[in-house]
A and B are shown apart, each in its own frame.
Chain A
Amino acid sequence: MNILVFAENQDGIFKKSSFEAVSYASQIAASNGGQVTAVSIGNVSSEKLAELGTYGADSVFTYTDAIFNQFTGEAYSKALAHAAKNKSADLIIISNTYSGKMVAPRVAAKLNAGMVSGVISMPETTNGFKVKRMVFSGKSFAEVAINTTVKVLSITPNSFTISENPKTAAIESMDAGLSANDVKTQTVEVARASGKIPLTEAELVISGGRGMKGPENWHLIETLADTLGAATACSKPVSDIHWRPHSEHVGQTGITIKPNLYIAIGISGAIQHLAGVSSSKVIVAINKDPEAPFFKAADYGIVGDAFEILPKIIEAAKAFKSA
């Protein structure tokens, strides 16, 4: 099996999700045979490119034409399809980040490949080719079979562990032969909150609901998040009344996340909210209502006033971190 992996970088640094994707591909290659080619698009130093070998890439294709200096679905999907054809790849792995979601379907259409998005399992290849994915925004899982020869999988970030399988990856500079006419989108401005962990990639998430009583109390959630190195999130009502930005809303009509730890403070646990977070490894619910549905979905619970509880947890977290 020839496997191609999109190794996405941000400002020349590979994302954690890219290493997850390379590790995932390398494990498939180990059990099914085959080669793993990681594809890097945009400018990345040769030391950084070599890192892809650490997680099992046999070779690395690097596309550095100036057209790739901005991220566009059109150019990036062309480069990936170019690489896939060059390697006669039968499996293309892309992490399901916002950029990955933009690129993956275009790659699939170019290669006439069957695609499954949001994959959360290794493929089952004993009888056809099947993978598991989340459906109903986390309320359940589906097993999906792909019937085509070439397959595209977009894998859910935080679903697979990064594992080392050191190889000396041959690095090859590639040219997809694109011209300015191939791209009809133009980036104007990119704004990222510096020093904050993006919610979609976070392993630890601290989340607040209406029980926090107002945006002025969010410093408690932020202090706890900063102390533990966690991202912050919120419930739908909180983003609807603009206490917090929409980008923090987790749930069925917001973001579905899969962190190792999700701490829900003052969130009752409506079915739509639980859908977005129930795949978290460990859930903590803090709520003054002992009947709050969140306690049925949680591993740990504290029934009481958040404003009494949070300072105690923050103090313990600070002591833990400085120990």
Chain B
Amino acid sequence: MKILVCISQVPDTTTKVTFTDNNTKFNTQGVQFIINPYDELALTRALEITEKQGGTVSVISVGLADTEPSIRKALAIGAHDAIRINAEPIDGFFVAEQIANYAKNENFDLIFTGRESIDYNGGMVAGLLGEMLNMPSVNVITAIEIENGIAHLERDIDGGREKLTATLPCVVSAQKELTEPRIPNMRGIMAARTKPLQVVEPNSAQANTQTTSYELPAPKGACKLIDVADAGKLIELLHQEAKVI
């Protein structure tokens, strides 16, 4: 089993988001970066699969040199080797093009992404990769078992859960609940230093969207407090004043 896990580096969830350059750039000053949490679940599940039935797990990331600590962390968690496509990840299409370009000659049986990155939330790389590599793609999976070239999957659907199968090779995107994230141990951290991390230059694909500006939500007005004794009055306010019920 040869597995590829696509990871991206994102700001830590506690980050207070601000922008610079006249609201056109995310302000990275003082921001702690982590592996996207859904990608980390994907990586852990991929490792569980290869530990059970043999195989290798490679991680790939599209990013500049400053993303290497996150890639090394993925190696410390247990990935066998890593590929960094040396480019700014401009949009989901560009990222998928770069990964597809690398993966097309590598015969991966299974490609994982996270369900979405928690910064730009595009959620489209899995589907784009599926189409570009002519593989089925299944998003928001909460369970995966591989048996005889078939992936047995569970995925979230609106208001419920679906069980399905997909023929390998296929692309899946990890949803919470897939597994518990793994914390790297000292041996893993030491081993990660010498694991192969290949840097590949991007191909000529162009992004087809660009972010022109950012905006923070308008601050809320003062909170109207209701006394505990009059708690029932909330319903009247929601009906007559806020008009939401």
Picked from B14, B228, B234, B242, the residue with its CB within 8 Å of the CB of A316 is B234
Interface magnitude class on chain A: 35 or more
Q: With a CB–CB cut-off of 8 A, which chain B residues contact A136?
A: 11, 15, 17, 118-121
Which of B16, B38, B123, B209 counts the most chain A CB atoms within 10 A?
A: B209
Which B residue sits closest to A150, measured CB to CB?
A: B208
Using known A-B contacts A188-B165, A189-B163, determine if residue A148 contacts B208 with beta carbons closer than 8 Å. yes
Stretch in B103-111, B185-193, B212-220 touching the partner:
B212-220
B234 touches A116 (CB 8 A): no
Q: With a CB–CB cut-off of 8 A, which chain A residues contact B160?
A: 190-193, 198
B17 touches A117 (CB 8 A): no
A260 touches B244 (CB 8 A): yes
Q: Which of A243-270 contact B (CB under 8 A)?
A: 246-247, 249, 252-254, 256, 260-261
Q: With a CB–CB cut-off of 8 A, which chain A residues contact B242?
A: 261, 281-282, 299-300
Using known A-B contacts A188-B163, A198-B159, determine if residue A271 contacts B16 with beta carbons closer than 8 Å. yes
Bound: A77/B227 CA distance, A? 53
Using known A-B contacts A187-B164, A271-B16, determine if residue A204 contacts B137 with beta carbons closer than 8 Å. no
Residue numbers of A with Cβ under 8 A of B are 10, 15, 72-74, 77, 97-99, 101-106, 108-110, 113-118, 130, 132-137, 139-148, 183-193, 196-201, 203-204, 228, 246-247, 249, 252-254, 256, 260-261, 271-272, 275, 278-279, 281-285, 295-305, 308-309, 312-313, 315-317, 319-320
Rounded to whole Å, the gap between the CB of A46 and the closest CB of chain B is 25
A-B contact pairs, 16 of them (CB 8 A): A73-B136, A73-B137, A73-B138, A101-B127, A105-B131, A109-B127, A141-B217, A201-B159, A228-B245, A252-B13, A299-B221, A308-B231, A316-B236, A320-B235, A320-B236, A320-B245
Bound: A159/B231 CA distance, A? 30
Q: With a CB–CB cut-off of 8 A, which chain B residues contact A304?
A: 228, 231
Which B residue sits closest to A246, measured CB to CB?
A: B177
Picked from B128, B211, B220, the residue with its CB within 8 Å of the CB of A296 is B220
A302 touches B228 (CB 8 A): yes
Rounded to whole Å, the gap between the CB of B108 and the closest CB of chain A is 15
Using A113-B208, A142-B120, A247-B156 as known contacts, list a sample of 16 further A-B pairs with CB atoms less than 8 Å apart, ordered by residue number in A: A98-B158, A105-B137, A106-B127, A109-B96, A135-B119, A140-B17, A186-B164, A186-B165, A196-B159, A204-B245, A249-B176, A253-B118, A260-B244, A302-B225, A305-B228, A316-B234
Q: With a CB–CB cut-off of 8 A, which chain A residues contact B237?
A: 300
B209 touches A114 (CB 8 A): yes
Bound: A106/B170 CA distance, A? 14
Q: With a CB–CB cut-off of 8 A, which chain B residues contact A204?
A: 244-245
Bound: A97/B211 CA distance, A? 23
Which A residue sits closest to B228, measured CB to CB?
A: A304
Using known A-B contacts A144-B209, A147-B208, A284-B238, determine if residue A253 contacts B13 with beta carbons closer than 8 Å. yes
Which B residue sits closest to A196, measured CB to CB?
A: B159
The answer, yes or no, to whether B112 is at the interface (CB within 8 Å) is no
Q: Which of B141-171 contact A (CB under 8 A)?
A: 142, 152, 155-167, 170
Q: With a CB–CB cut-off of 8 A, which chain A residues contact B221?
A: 299
Q: With a CB–CB cut-off of 8 A, which chain B residues contact A298?
A: 220, 223
- Contact residues of A: prevailing secondary structure: mixed
Rounded to whole Å, the gap between the CB of B128 and the closest CB of chain A is 5
Rounded to whole Å, the gap between the CB of B45 and the closest CB of chain A is 15
A313 touches B232 (CB 8 A): yes
Using known A-B contacts A301-B224, A301-B226, determine if residue A188 contacts B164 with beta carbons closer than 8 Å. yes
Bound: A102/B156 CA distance, A? 11
Bound: A270/B239 CA distance, A? 28
Rounded to whole Å, the gap between the CB of B186 and the closest CB of chain A is 26
B223 touches A144 (CB 8 A): no
B130 touches A106 (CB 8 A): yes
A106 touches B131 (CB 8 A): yes
Using known A-B contacts A98-B155, A101-B140, A191-B161, determine if residue A135 contacts B223 with beta carbons closer than 8 Å. no
Bound: A160/B243 CA distance, A? 17
B244 touches A282 (CB 8 A): yes
Q: With a CB–CB cut-off of 8 A, which chain B residues contact A145?
A: 209-212
Rounded to whole Å, the gap between the CB of A271 and the closest CB of chain B is 6
The answer, yes or no, to whether B4 is at the interface (CB within 8 Å) is no
B156 touches A142 (CB 8 A): no
B238 touches A282 (CB 8 A): yes
A135 touches B121 (CB 8 A): yes
A99 touches B158 (CB 8 A): yes
Which B residue sits closest to A231, measured CB to CB?
A: B159
The answer, yes or no, to whether B139 is at the interface (CB within 8 Å) is yes
B232 touches A256 (CB 8 A): no
B215 touches A140 (CB 8 A): yes
Which B residue sits closest to A274, measured CB to CB?
A: B217
B225 touches A301 (CB 8 A): yes
Q: With a CB–CB cut-off of 8 A, which chain A residues contact B124?
A: 101, 104-105, 108, 115, 117
B17 touches A299 (CB 8 A): no
A108 touches B128 (CB 8 A): yes
Q: With a CB–CB cut-off of 8 A, which chain B residues contact A184?
A: 135-136, 166-167, 170
Picked from B121, B137, B176, B227, the residue with its CB within 8 Å of the CB of A106 is B137
B123 touches A101 (CB 8 A): yes
B214 touches A115 (CB 8 A): no
